[in-house]
């Protein structure tokens, strides 16, 4: 019972923090370009992950792994955080948060598609249904319910939001068969990415654009979107007696996120947005049901 309660605590903490990041993205992007936000947030996240590894006694493992596979971590770092967050922040810069967030939530569907292509997994009928429903939900969100007209606030923003889901999924597929501790792997990717970002983009940064509000948002994103919230979620999954129940808590996040965008940012949440997001979540739940039974 104690383990179950601890699992719920860490899972709900992670879900709460993830629910706030769409608002933090928009607040930061009010003052910073996506490239600057990626550099600053990745740097802070790398520092937080290194501190976590130091606390857990894993720094030596990080050094050993990095020396053993430097090109691997350069490759994974380019995918995530560099590529993923550059694309994601650009999507948020072009779209209302209430559109970008639900679209980004289809990463689980992208993961299914890439798993078939690169891991040779079988595409089940339920996966086909989930893909159809999920991308129907995306279309409803992106067009504000006017599917037949296909009028977008930003077609390029919608495309970037979708591309970000495939980059995120690609990162986890690359690491799927790795026996390396996930914290060690994530830390190395972020450290290498930080060095790369400062080398390539450091000269373009304008520190005068950092205000108290934007720095606070950057700090929040670096700590709680990119970094330690993933560790909270991993801890919840390790403590859970039934991972399917814990994993389903993640579906609370997008609805709370929309509410926060409305309350804090004043974004209009259209009925079509709720409908589209509900369809996306239903698609993900349909996809999970067979696996949920087996995980018990």
Helices (H), 81-154: 84-94, 97-104, 107-119, 125-143
Q: Which two tokens stand for residue 211?
A: 């205000």
- Quick check: 237 pLDDT over 70? yes
Q: Which two tokens stand for residue 94?
A: 């072009």
Across 272-287, average pLDDT: 92
Q: Which domain holds residue 53?
A: 2-295
Average pLDDT, the chain: 88
Least confident of 70-84, 178-192, 204-218: 204-218
Tally the domains of the chain. Answer: 1
- Quick check: 228 pLDDT over 50? yes
Q: Which of 55, 42, 142 is nearest to 99 (CA)?
A: 142
pTM of the model: 0.90
Report the percentage of the chain scoring pLDDT > 90.
60
- Quick check: 177 pLDDT over 90? no
Cα torsion angle, 277, 283, 289, 295, sign:
negative
């Amino acid at each position: 019972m104690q383990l179950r309660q601890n699992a719920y605590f860490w899972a709900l903490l992670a879900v709460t923090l993830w629910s706030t990041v769409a608002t933090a993205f928009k607040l930061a992007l009010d003052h910073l370009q996506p490239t600057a936000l990626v550099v600053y947030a990745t740097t802070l996240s790398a520092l937080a992950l290194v501190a976590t590894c130091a606390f857990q006694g894993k720094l030596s493992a990080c050094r050993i792994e990095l020396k053993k596979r430097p090109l691997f971590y350069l490759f994974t770092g380019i995918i995530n955080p560099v590529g993923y967050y550059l694309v994601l922040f650009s999507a948020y810069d072009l779209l209302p948060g209430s559109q970008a967030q639900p679209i980004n939530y289809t990463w689980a569907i992208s993961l299914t598609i890439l798993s078939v292509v690169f891991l040779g997994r079988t595409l089940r009928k339920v996966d086909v249904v989930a893909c159809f429903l999920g991308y129907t939900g995306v279309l409803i969100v992106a067009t504000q319910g006017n599917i037949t007209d296909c009028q977008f606030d930003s077609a390029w923003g919608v495309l970037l939001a979708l591309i970000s889901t495939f980059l995120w999924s690609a990162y986890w597929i690359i690491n799927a068969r790795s026996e390396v501790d996930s914290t060690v792997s994530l830390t190395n990717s972020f450290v290498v990415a930080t060095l790369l970002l400062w080398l390539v983009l450091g000269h373009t940064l304008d520190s005068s654009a950092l205000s108290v509000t934007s720095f606070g948002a950057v700090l929040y994103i670096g700590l709680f979107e990119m970094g330690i919230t993933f560790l909270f979620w991993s801890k919840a999954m390790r403590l859970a007696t039934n991972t399917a129940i814990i994993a389903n808590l993640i579906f609370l996040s997008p609805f709370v996120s929309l509410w926060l965008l409305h309350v804090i940012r004043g974004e209009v949440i259209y009925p079509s947005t709720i409908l589209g997001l509900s369809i996306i979540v239903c698609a993900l739940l349909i996809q999970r049901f067979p696996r949920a039974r087996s995980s018990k």
